[in-house]
C-alpha cells in the first residue's frame, strides 16, 4: 500500500487546518526526492512524478504495448483500451460530457495552437478581434498574435487591476460582437492569481463569443470543471499535474469540435484518403493525426488516480495554507517585494529582492539544492507592463512542506549576506 494511502486519512479536509508538514510524507511517493535530494519549489514549471506514474509508463511499455487504433492483434487492442480509458478518465476528471470531447495533444501549447489554427482561423471575418489578457503565457499569446498579424485582426489585451487580476470591467468592454474568440488563463504562472472567469465567460457567451481557458497552472491544484466554468475549450499539460511530459489535453464542447478543422494531417485521423479529397474521422480522432503518446496517456491515468485518491480539493486546501505561510514569511523578510496581491492565489508567488538580480538569487539558492525559478516565465508582455524584466518565482505542490519554506527563507538570507 502506498504511503499516500496511509496519509489519506490526514488529507481529510477537516483535519487539515494548521497542518504544514503533510508534504514530507507525500514526498515519499516521489522517488526523485530520495534519488536526488533537493528542495523543489519549481512545480509551476513542471511537477515531479509519483512512483505509480513512472510505473504505469514502464508497465505500459513492458506488458501492454502495441499500436493504437491500428492493428487487429491483442497487443494493439490492449494498448488501445488503455488509451481510450485515459480519455474517459480525463472526461470525468474535468467534468466533460463525453469522452469524444477530449483530445490528446502534446501539451497546453499544442492544444492552444490547435484551437487557434483549426478553429479560429477558419472563422475569421474582416474587422474581427481576438481578446486575451495581459497575463497570458507565451503559449496563449503568440498563436493569437500570429493569427492577428497574419490576417489583419486586432489583438486586444485585457489590462490587469492593481491587485493583479484580470479587469472584469475592461473585459466586458473589449469583448464585443466582433470578437472571434477569447483566450484566458485561469491561474497566472507569474502572479499566481486565480482569475474568476465566470462573469467574463458569461459576458462572452451573451455575444456568442467562444472562450478558451488555459488551465496549465490550475489543473491538479484546484477542481477544474468545464461545466462549472462553462468554457468552450480547455487546455492543459500532463507534466504539470504529476503526469508524464509530452502529453496534454484539449477539451472542447462537442458542437465546437465538430466545427473545428484538423491542424495536423497524417495517419489515423482520416476516414478515407482519396487522391483529390479526403474524409476525416469524427472528433476527437481527426485531431490526433500520427501515432500518439500512448505511454504518456498511461502515465496520465496514474496521475489522475493519484490526484483523485488524495482529492484535489484536499491538495488545494493544504497547498493554500502552505502558500499563505510562504507569503507571510516572504513579507516579513526585509528587502523582499512580492508581486501582485490578488484575492485568491494558487500555488506560486513571484518576488524580487532589493538590488539583487533574480538570477543571482536562483543561482545561490541552487548551490544548496533549492530549486526556484528566475526569469520572465514566458510572459514577457506582462513583465514589461509591470516594469520588471525578470522575477524569482517559488511554486509548490502537494509534496512541499514548511521545511521547504524554511530552507527558502534561510537561502534568501544567505543570498543577502553575499551582497549586503
Partner 1 sequence: MKDLYHPTIIRHSKSPSNFREDPPDDREVVTLEAYNPLCGDEFTLYLYMQGELIEKVQFSGYGCAVSKAMTSLLTERLEGKRILESKVLLSDLRKMLIDNGESPRTLLDEFVPFMEVRNYPERMTCVTLSIDALVDYFEPNKDRL
Ligand X SMILES: Cc1ncc(COP(=O)(O)O)c(C=O)c1O
Residues forming the active site: 378
Select from 199, 266, 290, 389 the one that contacts partner 1 (CB under 8 A): 389
Eight-state DSSP code of residue 29 = G
| Residue 359 contacts which entry, partner 1, ligand X, none (Cβ below 5-8 A, type-dependent) | partner 1
Residues 356-385 contacting partner 1, CB under 8 A:
356-360, 363-364, 366-367, 374-376, 380, 383
* Count of residues that interact with partner 1, criterion CB under 8 A: 18
Show the binding pattern over residues 375-394: x = contacts ligand X (CB under 6 A), - = does not: ---x----------------
Q: Is 279 in the site for partner 1 (CB under 8 A)?
A: no
Q: Which is nearer to partner 1, 84 or 385 (CB)?
A: 385
| 3-state SS class at 392 | strand
* Count of residues that interact with ligand X, criterion CB under 6 A: 14
d(CA 302, CA 293): 15
Give me the least distance between CB of 192 and ligand X, in Å please: 11
Of the candidates 50, 56, 8, 55, the one whose C-alpha atom is nearest the C-alpha of residue 29 is 50
d(CA 240, CA 89): 17
Q: Where are the alpha helices (DSSP H) in 1-131?
A: 3-8, 22-26, 32-35, 51-59, 74-94, 108-114
Beta-bridge partners for 338: 351
d(CA 392, CA 381): 17
Q: Is 280 in the site for partner 1 (CB under 8 A)?
A: no
Which residues does 245 contact at the CB level (< 8 Å), separation at least 6?
A: 46, 107, 238, 239, 296
Q: Where are the alpha helices (DSSP H) in 74-197?
A: 74-94, 108-114, 142-151, 168-174
Q: Which is nearer to ligand X, 39 or 382 (CB)?
A: 382
∠ at Cα 94 (92, 100), nearest 5°? 65
Show the binding pattern over residues 306-345: x = contacts partner 1 (CB under 8 A), - = does not: ----------------------------------------
| Residue 189 contacts which entry, ligand X, partner 1, none (Cβ below 5-8 A, type-dependent) | ligand X
Q: Which is nearer to partner 1, 251 or 351 (CB)?
A: 351
d(CA 289, CA 311): 34
Q: Is 214 in the site for ligand X (CB under 6 A)?
A: yes
Eight-state DSSP code of residue 398 = T
In the complex, the residues that contact ligand X under the rule CB under 6 A are 107-109, 137, 139-140, 185, 189, 214, 216-217, 237, 239, 378
In the complex, the residues that contact partner 1 under the rule CB under 8 A are 356-360, 363-364, 366-367, 374-376, 380, 383, 389-390, 418-419
Amino acid at each position: 500500500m502506498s504511503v499516500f494511502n496511509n496519509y489519506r486519512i490526514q488529507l481529510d479536509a477537516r483535519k487539515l487546518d494548521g497542518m504544514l508538514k503533510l508534504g514530507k510524507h507525500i514526498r515519499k511517493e516521489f522517488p526523485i526526492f530520495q534519488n536526488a535530494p533537493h528542495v523543489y519549489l519549481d512545480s509551476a514549471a513542471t511537477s515531479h512524478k509519483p512512483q505509480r506514474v513512472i510505473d504505469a509508463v514502464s508497465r505500459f511499455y513492458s506488458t501492454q504495448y502495441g499500436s493504437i487504433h491500428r492493428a487487429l492483434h491483442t497487443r494493439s487492442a490492449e494498448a488501445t483500451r488503455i488509451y481510450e480509458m485515459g480519455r474517459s478518465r480525463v472526461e470525468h476528471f474535468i467534468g466533460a460530457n463525453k469522452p469524444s470531447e477530449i483530445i490528446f495533444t502534446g501539451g497546453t501549447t499544442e492544444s492552444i495552437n490547435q484551437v487557434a489554427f483549426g478553429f479560429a482561423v477558419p472563422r475569421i471575418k474582416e474587422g474581427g478581434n481576438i481578446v486575451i489578457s495581459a497575463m497570458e503565457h507565451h503559449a496563449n499569446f503568440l498563436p493569437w498574435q500570429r493569427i492577428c498579424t497574419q490576417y489583419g485582426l486586432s489583438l486586444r489585451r485585457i489590462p490587469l487591476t492593481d491587485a493583479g487580476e484580470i479587469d472584469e470591467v475592461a473585459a466586458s468592454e473589449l469583448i464585443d460582437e466582433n470578437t472571434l474568440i477569447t483566450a484566458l488563463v485561469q491561474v497566472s504562472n507569474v502572479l499566481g492569481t486565480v482569475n474568476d472567469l465566470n462573469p467574463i465567460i458569461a459576458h462572452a457567451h451573451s455575444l456568442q463569443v467562444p472562450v478558451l481557458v488555459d488551465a496549465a497552472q490550475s489543473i491538479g491544484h484546484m477542481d477544474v470543471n468545464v461545466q462549472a466554468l462553462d468554457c468552450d475549450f480547455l487546455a492543459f499539460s500532463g507534466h504539470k499535474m504529476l503526469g508524464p511530459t509530452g502529453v496534454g489535453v484539449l477539451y472542447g464542447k462537442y458542437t465546437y469540435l465538430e466545427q473545428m478543422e484538423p491542424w495536423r494531417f497524417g495517419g489515423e485521423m482520416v476516414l478515407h484518403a482519396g487522391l483529390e479529397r479526403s474524409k476525416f474521422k469524427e472528433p476527437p480522432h481527426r485531431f490526433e493525426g500520427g501515432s500518439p503518446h500512448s505511454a504518456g496517456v498511461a502515465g496520465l491515468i496514474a496521475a489522475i488516480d493519484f490526484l483523485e485518491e488524495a482529492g484535489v480539493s484536499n491538495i488545494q486546501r493544504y497547498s493554500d495554507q502552505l502558500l499563505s505561510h510562504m507569503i507571510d514569511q516572504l513579507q516579513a523578510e526585509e528587502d523582499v517585494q512580492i508581486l501582485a496581491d490578488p484575492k485568491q492565489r494558487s500555488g506560486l508567488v513571484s518576488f524580487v529582492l532589493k538590488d539583487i538580480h533574480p538570477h543571482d538569487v536562483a543561482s545561490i539558492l541552487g548551490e544548496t539544492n533549492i530549486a526556484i525559478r528566475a526569469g520572465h516565465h514566458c510572459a514577457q508582455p506582462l513583465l514589461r507592463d509591470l516594469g520588471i524584466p525578470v522575477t524569482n518565482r517559488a511554486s509548490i505542490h502537494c509534496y512541499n512542506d514548511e521545511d521547504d519554506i524554511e530552507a527558502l527563507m534561510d537561502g534568501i538570507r544567505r543570498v543577502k549576506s553575499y551582497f549586503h
